């Protein structure tokens, strides 16, 4: 039981979903957690402190001082240090905004600012509020601070509208916490010892590309893109922690080399990335192509610096090798090939065509239309398209959390008999 003995601080804010906090506390206690509850003033209009105190077997706090007139301080700093995890559920639009801005004039937000533990937010609000750009930006910023977001679910809302905004069900929230307090393992039955089996990626050979490529115009200048390599490096970290043997082929980035790699190969151009990947492809069980490889390269790069003379200047470009398509044509039975697609329009259709055309098993779609997704951010919002036709949508998350989601998706595709 991953939550057994864990100290969980539950923050309840003002939302009709506050009634679910009772079920959530009960499930956390049943999982062996020590639960304390902090409520905002508006949350008490939806559920009584007595209910949550009875279920948690601890007093419920909502003010900086006790109500008995003694002036006893409910120390928000100690509460933040006490917890192994802080969970804000439901997290209203107002509470999300307060935490983003660092406001601390109520106990819940002051505790959040004092917390040194992982913090989880389970948003709950009406459809239009959830889709508002201000809320999307607040969720992006919370994720960029290192917090964990538990996606709101779709369904009928209190207003009568139907769409995304419902707080995740308590069972799903508890499962999310359990996963965070457990080693990265696939879903499945427990073994005879009562423990989860090791991750299915353990011991497998992964070949991973990351970062941009740089295509030389002359010895001084090059053509490139805005990729930082953060997503690929987060994937390398998640895979090595799960026990995989990872070879990382990386374009030029400003990131520390991930620990525990089997091999690190630094390349610069698209041709160098192709050659390094091709040379290691046959030995890989799973290949993940997260690098942003240039589609074109200067056909005749100069061997000396080009001087500025003419009013206009033209560079002839030639197509680079399509790494994904080339490897897709060589893929053996049981070998998995995962690609990435960064799109700006017709996202799903373009990604689906790329999946089929390049013989991929899974493609990870990013859209530059989504705030906080794409190049340069510490967050990402992805959609997974599988060869089977299945599509999985995820909300904005930190790239580390996205990496864990991708590893879990790959685990579900693995067929040990074919590897």
Active site residues: 225
Longest CA span, the chain: 83
Rounded CA separation 16/40 (Å): 13
Rounded CA separation 220/242 (Å): 41
| Residue 290 CA, distance from chain mean position | 15
Instruction: Give the single-character DSSP code of 298.
Output: E
Q: Is 201 in contact with 239 (CB distance < 8 Å)?
A: yes
Name the token pair of 249: 């082929």
List, in sequence order, the alpha helices (H) in 254-303.
Answer: 270-281
Q: Is 211 in contact with 252 (CB distance < 8 Å)?
A: yes
List, in sequence order, the alpha helices (H) in 161-264.
Answer: 170-180, 230-241
> In what order do the strands lie in the sheet containing 119-123?
60-61, 34-39, 7-12, 85-91, 119-123, 148-149
SS3 of residue 317 by DSSP:
strand
Q: Is 55 in contact with 22 (CB distance < 8 Å)?
A: yes
Q: Is 188 in contact with 197 (CB distance < 8 Å)?
A: yes
> Torsion angle of alpha carbons 364, 368, 372, 375, nearest 10°?
70
């Amino acid at each position: 039981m991953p939550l057994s003995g864990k100290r969980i601080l539950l923050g309840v804010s003002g939302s009709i979903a506050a009634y679910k906090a009772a079920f959530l506390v009960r499930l956390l206690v049943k999982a062996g957690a020590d639960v304390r509850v902090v409520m905002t003033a508006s949350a008490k209009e939806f559920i009584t402190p007595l209910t949550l105190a009875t279920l948690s077997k601890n007093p419920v706090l909502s003010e900086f001082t006790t109500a008995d007139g003694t002036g006893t301080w409910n120390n928000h700093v100690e509460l933040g240090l006490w917890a192994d995890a802080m969970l804000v559920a439901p997290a209203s639009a107002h509470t999300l905004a307060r935490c983003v801005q660092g406001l601390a004039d109520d106990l819940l937000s002051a505790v959040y600012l004092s917390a040194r533990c992982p913090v989880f937010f389970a948003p709950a609000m009406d459809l239009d509020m959830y889709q508002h750009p201000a809320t999307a930006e607040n969720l992006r910023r919370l994720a960029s601070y290192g917090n964990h977001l538990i996606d709101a679910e779709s369904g009928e809302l209190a207003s009568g509208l139907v769409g995304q905004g419902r707080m995740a069900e308590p069972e799903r929230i508890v499962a999310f916490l359990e996963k965070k307090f457990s080693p990265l393992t696939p879903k499945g039955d427990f073994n005879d010892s009562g423990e989860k089996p090791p991750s299915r990626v353990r011991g497998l050979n992964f070949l991973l590309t990351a970062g941009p490529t740089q295509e030389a115009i002359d010895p001084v200048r090059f053509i490139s893109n805005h990729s930082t390599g953060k997503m690929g490096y987060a994937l390398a970290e998640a895979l090595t922690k799960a026990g995989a043997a990872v070879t990382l082929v990386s374009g030029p980035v400003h990131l520390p080399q991930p620990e525990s790699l089997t091999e690190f190969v630094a390349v610069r151009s698209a041709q160098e990335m192709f050659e390094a990947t091709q040379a290691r492809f046959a030995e890989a069980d799973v290949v993940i192509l997260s690098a942003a490889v240039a589609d074109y390269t200067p056909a005749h790069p100069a061997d000396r610096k080009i001087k500025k003379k003419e009013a206009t200047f033209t560079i002839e470009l030639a197509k680079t090798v399509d790494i994904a398509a080339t490897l897709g044509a060589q893929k053996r039975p049981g070998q998995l090939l995962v690609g990435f697609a960064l799109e700006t329009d017709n996202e799903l259709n373009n990604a689906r065509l790329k999946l089929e055309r390049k013989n991929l098993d899974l493609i990870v779609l990013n859209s530059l239309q989504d705030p906080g997704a794409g190049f340069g951010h510490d967050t990402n919002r992805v959609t997974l398209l599988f060869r089977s036709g299945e599509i999985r949508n995820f909300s904005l998350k930190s790239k580390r959390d996205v990496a864990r989601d991708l590893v879990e998706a790959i685990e579900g595709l693995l067929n040990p008999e074919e590897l």
